[in-house]
Structure 1
Amino acid sequence: MSAASRDRWRKPRMIRNPALRWALWLAVAAYVIGTIATLPVNWPRVAEGFGRAAQIFGGAFPPSFERSGLLIDGFLESLKIAILATVGGVLLSIPIAFMAARNIAPLPVFYLGRALIIVARSFHPVIVAILFVKAVGFGPLAGVLTLIVYSVGFVAKMLAERIEEIDFGQVEALRAAGAPTLSVLVYAIFPQILPRQIGLSIYQLDSNLRASAMIGIVGAGGIGATLANAFGRYDYDFALAITIIIVGAILVSEAISGQIRKRI
């Protein structure tokens, strides 16, 4: 071995014992193989599914935009759901984020804020949408409530982490000057978290627009409900047209939100 090879630095392995490292790899491989082997997969049905998939794709081309009125109505409803849910979710996320910031909130309030965030993040939006559909019925109200919960789970968590990273010297300076709590929040904390708050709000609006199409499939309104109805009627060409509109809207939304985030 040359001197250059001996002097070259190499990142140490996480598991330095070779026997233990190989045993871990073998255990992981055995678990993956065992999981795949024991999955209850109906392979004959899977084989039949290829034929059904070919039938669906064959009926989807060319896409049909004849019922453009339903497309526009569904998309506008999804847009309204996303905007209302973003506004409501962000407004709820701000106080919850302050509750969940350990450097500001007392310990009992901190635990309560973190518990609210954990609950909001624990369930997939489709599951929450099913619960709200059962509670308030089919339609956009269930979608708005679902995406408010979805927004709180993300925005409150990220904003709370940003609050915990602030320069606390400004807070201590105002407190030492005798400023009340509200003045400390307005003049010492809000200016430091405002850029993050704006960025999170824009991102969440983009995310809610995507999610509104997904939760609509279970009856929570929006263009997803239009898509589910099209599949239910075996209108695969209309379903493909709806899918194209959804993808196009998400691409436009992503481009716009990306440009806005760059300018913040």
Structure 2
Amino acid sequence: MTTRTETRTPFKPNWAARLGWLGVLAYCVYAGMSLDFTWSRFIDGLANGAKFLGEMIPPNFERWRLLISNLVETVEIAVIASAFGIAASLPIGLCGARNLMPEWMTWPSRTFIAICRSFHPVIFAILFVKAVGFGPLAGILTLIFLTIGFIGKLFCEAIEEISLKPVEAIKAAGAPFMSVLVFGVLPQVFNRFIGFATYQFDANLRNSTMVGIVGAGGIGGTLFAAFQRFDYDFLAAILIAIIALIMVSEYISLKIKAIFND
């Protein structure tokens, strides 16, 4: 009697996945060719980039008063927009939670959040500049909508992931709806909400420099003007100031998280 030993492959090749990756690679090659991407342009771009960086060194901080005033305006835009946007995100995100609210309330809230997330901040800034004119107000309104879109969605999803046992226990004790939210829902999502809020404040600082390019206040307008005047040494000073501002914001965010985690 003969026995035949079968060799089994412990990890069978997934040909569908391999064909999928091959298709993605082929599409990237096709897209690069259709977008007129060539190595000669890439090499020329490296040379132009090196020349551009050379003109940025050394940075010019002679107009430091203008730099500081624009940075202060940028911070003011980010702080005001974050405060109002986060405050508005709380009820909107709560109304969008399907495990707590009825369907007739969740769909309008989620639709509004989706609208706030649908457009790039520059598009929002152009719309508000057209509506309210040039200046910080357009930037504040832009960042408020962006904050609602981001915080509202994450806060809504965080509420949907909570355990309903504490909520049901508080309801069984006869507590009103606000007490259920304060003692049954908020403690489960508070730390995550603080993380969302601090991250969004960092994002608003960055976006406030971007929306200024289209006239929505902040240091972005000065940055764009430096580009147009080929004032690259002052441009380098602006970029260094923005990097320093973001690093300070990151440090403050870490301290805030440490305080609430304790």
- Shorter-chain-normalised TM-score: which range? 0.7 to 0.9
Partner of 2:211: 215
1-structure distance, mates of 2:209, 2:143: 11
| Superposed counterparts of 1:204-243, under 5 Å | 204-243=200-239
**Which residue, out of 187, 190, 194, partners 2:190?**
194
Choose from 161, 181, 185 the match for 2:181.
185
User: 2:204, 2:131 → 1: CA distance?
Assistant: 21
- Provide the C-alpha distance between the structure 2 equivalents of 1:21 and 1:52, rounded to a whole number of angstroms: 40
C-alpha distance in structure 1 between counterparts of 2:191 and 2:54, whole Å: 48
Instruction: State whether structure 2 residue 168 is matched by structure 1 residue 168.
Output: no
Q: Distance in 2 between matches of 1:226 and 1:237?
A: 13
CA distance in 2, matches of 1:26, 1:46: 25
- SS of residue matched to 1:122: coil
Offset at residue 190 of structure 1 (A): 2.3
Q: TM-score, structure 1 length as denominator?
A: 0.86
Deviation at 1:44?
A: 8.0
Match of 2:82 among 76, 86, 101: 86
Match of 2:93 among 97, 101, 107: 97
Partner of 2:108: 112
- Provide the C-alpha distance between the structure 1 equivalents of 2:23 and 2:37, rounded to a whole number of angstroms: 23
Aligned partners of 1:17, 1:43: CA distance in 2, in Å?
Answer: 34
- Give the % identical residues: 48
CA-to-aligned-CA distance 1:71-103 (integer Å, 9 cap, x gap): 000000000000001001111100111111111
Between 1:120-129 and 1:47-56, the stretch displaced more is: 47-56
2:24 corresponding residue in structure 1: 28
- The one of 129, 154, 171 equivalent to 2:150 is 154
Which range is displaced more, 50-59 or 227-236? 50-59
Provide the residue aligned with 1:70 in structure 2. 66
Which amino acid in 2 is paired with 1:127? I
Structure 2 Cα separation of the partners of residues 22 and 192 of structure 1: 42
Distance 2:247 2:195 in 1: 18
Q: 2:4 maps to which residue?
A: none
Distance in 2 (CA, whole Å) between partners of 1:21 and 1:128 is: 39
- Give secondary structure in 2 for the equivalent of 1:62: coil
In the aligned structure 1, how far is the partner of 2:55 from the partner of 2:150?
A: 39
Find out whether 1:141 has 2:137 as its counterpart: yes
Shift of 1:40: 4.1
Give the AA of the match of 2:152. A
Distance 1:115 1:152 in 2: 12
Structure 1's unaligned 5+ residue stretches are 1-5
Cα distance, 1:147 vs structure 2 = 0.7
The residue type equivalent to 1:104 in the other structure is L
Counterpart CA distance in 2 for 1:198 and 1:22 is 42
- Report the Cα distance in structure 1 between the residues aligned to 2:39 and 2:131, rounded to whole angstroms: 38
